[in-house]
Amino acid sequence: MIFTVAIDGPAAAGKGTISRAVAARFGFAHLDTGALYRAVGVKGGDPVSAARGLTPEDLARDDLRTLEAGQAASRVAVIPEVRAALLEFQRRFARREGGAVLDGRDIGTVICPEAEVKLFVTASAEVRAHRRWLEVGGDAEKVLAEVRERDDRDMNRADAPLKPAKDAVLLDTSALGAEAAIAQAIALVQARLPG
């Protein structure tokens, strides 16, 4: 069975947590597409060459979840040649046999506009900054400023800006715990599965 779940949203909205849980529940493969961009960003050197030469080892680095890696990902994600280099990999992954869940910024709008389920996970900038601060620490005001800066860059880039697909279901996690958000996402996928 080929079945794609596209989960988009801004940083720290909960899309990774939800995506991993949905993939585990249905036995689908999972791809955090942000990890591709994080790996390109932290690899250094020419971003286009880094994207074209991305290896499984690059995706296994333990520094991909840092705030610096997230900022680097956002900077390289605005480069059209980087996006093009990673596009086909993501599309092949999405249409693999056995189902797939992809989370990122442009899965439902650009990578997999034909996805059977599209979910846009969001939360207020303040809630997302607090979550990120709990994860990485540091100065809370600086983390909020960085979240807002990243939102601006992601939403206003010329190539594949962050926005919900027209047919995406909006899931605001500002006042939802992880369990409740996951339950809503699972119910949505369950309702769209064939048979």
Question: If the chain, 195 residues long, is cut into consecutive pieces of 10 residues, what is the mean pLDDT of each piece?
Answer: 96 94 97 92 94 89 88 90 91 94 94 97 96 90 93 87 95 96 98 91
The one-character DSSP state at 174 is T
Q: Looking at residue 74, what is its pLDDT? A: 87
pLDDT reported for residue 158: 82
Q: State the pLDDT at residue 65.
A: 84
Q: What pLDDT score does 11 carry?
A: 87
- Give the per-residue pLDDT at 66: 87
Distance CA 109, CA 115 (A): 9
**Cβ atoms within 10 A of the Cβ of 150, count?**
23
User: Which residue segments constitute the domains of the chain, with CATH numbers given?
Assistant: 4-189 (3.40.50.300)
Binding residues: 9-17
Instruction: State residue 38's pLDDT score.
Output: 94
Residues of the binding site for ATP: 9-17
Nearest CA to 71 out of 34, 16, 102 is that of: 34
Residue 133 pLDDT: 92
pLDDT of residue 91: 93
